[in-house]
Structure 1
Amino acid sequence: MTGIAILLVYVLAFVLAAAAAGLLRRGRARRADFSSLKTVTFGDESAIRPDRLASIASVVVIFLLWGAFTGSKLVPLHVSGPFAGETSFTYQSEGTGGQLSDGRVRITVGPDGTLPAGAETSDDVAVAVQSGRNKLIQLPGDARVVSVNGTEIAPGGAVPVEDGTVSMTSKGTLSFAAERGLQMEPIWLPSPEAVVGRFIEIMANGYQNYSLWEHIGASLLRVLAGFTLGALVGIPLGYAMGLSGWFRGWFDPIVEFMRPVPPLALIPLVIIWFGIWETGKVVLLFLAALWVMAIAARAGVSGVRISKIHAAYSLGASKWQILRHVIVPNSLPEIFTGARVAMGVCWGTVVAAELVAAQMGAGMMIIAAAKFQLTDIVMMGIILIGLIGFGIDLLMRQAETRLVPWKGRS
């Protein structure tokens, strides 16, 4: 239920933000650049520029949703949280002789699940329930409950009551569950300030005998090593497959066979062949990047317009000159796209690569924290990996802009 609510609110925020941005920009002058000179832009990917206002709004909406559904003090609005306080319900029980008797159950719901002082002095049954948990209710005697708040109840049934639900187990014992609301428990999704607090703590004290920067640096070195090796082997292989029928016939079955195999499935073989230390981790990341880079380079060669090659031949160019001045420049956009995809795959694989015998690393930190249900550390590690990966992607975009300024202008 909470997931559906988050999705609906997110879709609504997207629509409202798009409409608001359209109203704000109505009547404003258009930007003056190369793309603005094009008469047809629909379907032209090079004419699409990321809307910075949309990017800012997207981050703000995600943060507001995160805070609203975790009860964060950093956001002004919150969804309904779990019930906390006192409530009660009446029941009617049937004794061994068939006589009916009435009773009342007073329930105190709180984070610690303890009864307040003096709660057990009343004739009513007093029960303490921890927020977000169920609690079996032990009634006096051997009475069998037949109704709750005037509504008949049978084993396996449930009756909605004020601030919660009373259900009956198959053996006839009552159980109370307080209203959970739409807020998520910290074990499922901690609040932003909890994640920031844990980040500050690990920054100061480290985690698992290593500092935070040592964890991040170890993962970054593994990813860069695996990605670099994958690019050094994959790009020449892709060029060879795009330029030689023999190379394509020889390697195409291998590439197309390995491409859909997830890197996680290769972990057992990598451990057997290369051991559990750094070599095995780098090899796994190398395999994750290799096939992506090979396919990207092959696609780049296949996408070169034949008219350009014919023009180069008519001007007396040799095969080496065609490769250097025609094929390589025109294939670079595809290679950069493949490199960005491969880097993302490597970052996604590093967590699995550090699953085995890793002493430090962002993935190891996430896995170790998950074993003890430290969701705030897990969230912190995920955010750090995402931010570092996003930063690397931005650098690759800038490199593509500077090295391939002709992209989309052919």
Structure 2
Amino acid sequence: MIPLLLYVAIFVAAFFIVRLGARKMTERHDFTSLKTVTFGDESAVRPDRWASVISIVTIFLLWGAFTGSKWVPVHAPGPFIGDTQFTYTAEAPDGARDDATVFIRVFEVGADVTEPEIDPGDGFAKNDVITVGAWRSKLLLFDQNDEITRKDGARIVAIDGQPVEPGGEVITDAGRVAVTSKGSLNYEPPKGMQMEPIWLPPPEAVVARVAEIASEGYQNFTLWEHLGWSLYRVVLGFILGAAVGIPLGYAMGLSDWFRGWFDPIVEFMRPVPPLALIPLVIIWAGIGESGKIILLFLAALWIMTIAARAGVSGVNITKVHAAYSLGASRWQILRHVIIPNSLPEIFTGARVAMGVCWGTVVAAELVAAEKGAGMMIMVASRFQLTDIVIMGIILIGVIGYGIDILFRIAERWLVPWKGRS
């Protein structure tokens, strides 16, 4: 919750700083800057590069700050590491009470640790000593060295002077101490606000994994082979889906017969997630490469079909009437009016379809895949190798973003008339 609030605060502060200061220094003087009406004009909205840079830096700083990264200067409070203690009060069956101290050594997980030597004390409740890893908890059988045990009727009635019952807990300066239903103690040191590496490793651990797997490989294949195979499957599945979906969308947009015939099928399959088709694809095509390609083909097919159909439906009818008045044939209208004016919708659908394919390839590679980014992520997750999981997610996102940029460049080059009447 705190990282989210910090992110929102940085967003608001950066918005006003850039709007009031830096943006005036980088104002553009081009055709768009001369427009008098820009609200609602999509062609006048361009990404603010300052916002992009600040957004990425903010996410990186929050990631590093809440994982104790050495790459960022400011850190959130981390887990307690060192020696601490708390005192419990034991009550004998006859009502007599005695205090004992539990000496605790909290160590960094993976580091060598030795228990401190202590004096057990003189009362019937003896002092105890435990070692516990940071972010971990430890169960303490407090009476294992006491003269009067739980079997004799002894029980804990207070922690650091605070009354407690079985099933209750007390927050002390040393951390959280809970009394279980059977009367033993469960100690948990203060965790701070940083994430444990097993849940979220710092950025340098992820970068180190990239270098390691790029040079040594993972699951018998190098990093580039894993990414290359995933990219090959996604691109091939997308190309096949577009090759079928675009003509089908044009046919549905131009023919009432095709619209009536295929509309129930398309609208039925459109909301079905590709992951739900995995069992059926396995039954039909097996667990080889063909099954994965078919699944990605189906992920792209319906999106491209709807995009092409929407592109045809969105063509300005006055342009079609103007072409007919000039004596154009149906083929000429299709070639010079419908296709050019539908390309913006098709490019938008292509970007969406490519994103869906990247999301589907992870699931597609779950089925008997020997290589691929999705397979690498899933295998790593079974062994709680979170750094490999995050590395794979980041690389998939970077590649997907790169492909989206290529689509944008191609759209600007092939469809320069987008947003103009």
Equivalent residue number for residue 364 of structure 2: 353
Equivalent residue number for residue 342 of structure 1: 353
Q: Aligned to 1:135, which of 120, 138, 156?
A: 138
Q: Please tell me the residue identity of whatever aligns with 1:129.
A: V
**C-alpha separation between the residues in 2 aligned to 1:114 and 1:228?**
55
- Judge conservation of contact 1:238–1:297 (CA < 8 Å) in 2: yes
For 1:119, what is the secondary structure of its paired residue?
coil
Q: Please tell me the residue identity of whatever aligns with 1:331.
A: S
- Judge conservation of contact 2:115–2:129 (CA < 8 Å) in 1: no
**C-alpha separation between the residues in 1 aligned to 2:240 and 2:190?**
54
**C-alpha separation between the residues in 2 aligned to 1:200 and 1:114?**
28
**C-alpha separation between the residues in 1 aligned to 2:321 and 2:13?**
51
For 1:165, what is the secondary structure of its paired residue?
strand
The Cα of 1:28 is off from its aligned counterpart by 3.8
Q: Aligned to 1:262, which of 248, 256, 273?
A: 273
Q: Does residue 84 of the first structure (1) align with residue 87 of the second (2)?
A: no
How much identity, in percent, do the aligned residues show? 65
Q: Does residue 233 of the first structure (1) align with residue 230 of the second (2)?
A: no
Equivalent residue number for residue 225 of structure 2: 214
The Cα of 1:103 is off from its aligned counterpart by 1.3
Q: Aligned to 2:60, which of 58, 63, 68?
A: 63
Deviates more, 1:103-112 or 1:254-263: 103-112
- Judge conservation of contact 2:307–2:346 (CA < 8 Å) in 1: yes
5+ residue gaps, structure 2: 122-126
5+ residue gaps, structure 1: none
Q: Aligned to 1:323, which of 334, 346, 352?
A: 334
Q: Does residue 125 of the first structure (1) align with residue 128 of the second (2)?
A: yes
What does 1:95-110 align with in structure 2 at a 5 Å threshold?
A: 95-110=92-107
- Judge conservation of contact 1:114–1:128 (CA < 8 Å) in 2: no
TM-score (normalizing by structure 1): 0.97
Judged with a 3 Å threshold, the aligned counterparts in structure 2 of structure 1 residues 237 and 11 are, in CA distance, closer, same or farther, namely: same
Judged with a 3 Å threshold, the aligned counterparts in structure 2 of structure 1 residues 94 and 47 are, in CA distance, closer, same or farther, namely: same
Q: Deviations over 1:134-156 (max 9, x none)?
A: 11122133131001111110011
The Cα of 1:182 is off from its aligned counterpart by 1.1
Moved over 6 A (4+): none
**C-alpha separation between the residues in 2 aligned to 1:78 and 1:357?**
42
Equivalent residue number for residue 253 of structure 2: 242
The Cα of 1:29 is off from its aligned counterpart by 6.7
- Judge conservation of contact 1:242–1:301 (CA < 8 Å) in 2: yes
TM-score (normalizing by structure 2): 0.94
- Judge conservation of contact 2:86–2:174 (CA < 8 Å) in 1: no
For 2:225, what is the secondary structure of its paired residue?
helix
**C-alpha separation between the residues in 1 aligned to 2:413 and 2:174?**
61
The Cα of 1:122 is off from its aligned counterpart by 4.9
For 1:409, what is the secondary structure of its paired residue?
coil
Equivalent residue number for residue 213 of structure 2: 202
Equivalent residue number for residue 94 of structure 1: 91
The Cα of 1:74 is off from its aligned counterpart by 0.2
**RMSD value, Cα:** 1.4
The Cα of 1:30 is off from its aligned counterpart by 3.4
Q: Please tell me the residue identity of whatever aligns with 1:219.
A: S
- Judge conservation of contact 1:90–1:103 (CA < 8 Å) in 2: yes
The Cα of 1:53 is off from its aligned counterpart by 1.1
The Cα of 1:85 is off from its aligned counterpart by 1.1
> How many residues of Structure 1 are paired with residues of Structure 2 in the alignment?
407
Q: Please tell me the residue identity of whatever aligns with 2:75.
A: H
**C-alpha separation between the residues in 2 aligned to 1:383 and 1:250?**
42
Deviates more, 1:94-103 or 1:384-393: 94-103
Q: Deviations over 1:158-177 (max 9, x none)?
A: 11100311111111111111
Q: Please tell me the residue identity of whatever aligns with 2:130.
A: V
**C-alpha separation between the residues in 1 aligned to 2:26 and 2:209?**
46
Q: Aligned to 1:379, which of 370, 373, 390?
A: 390
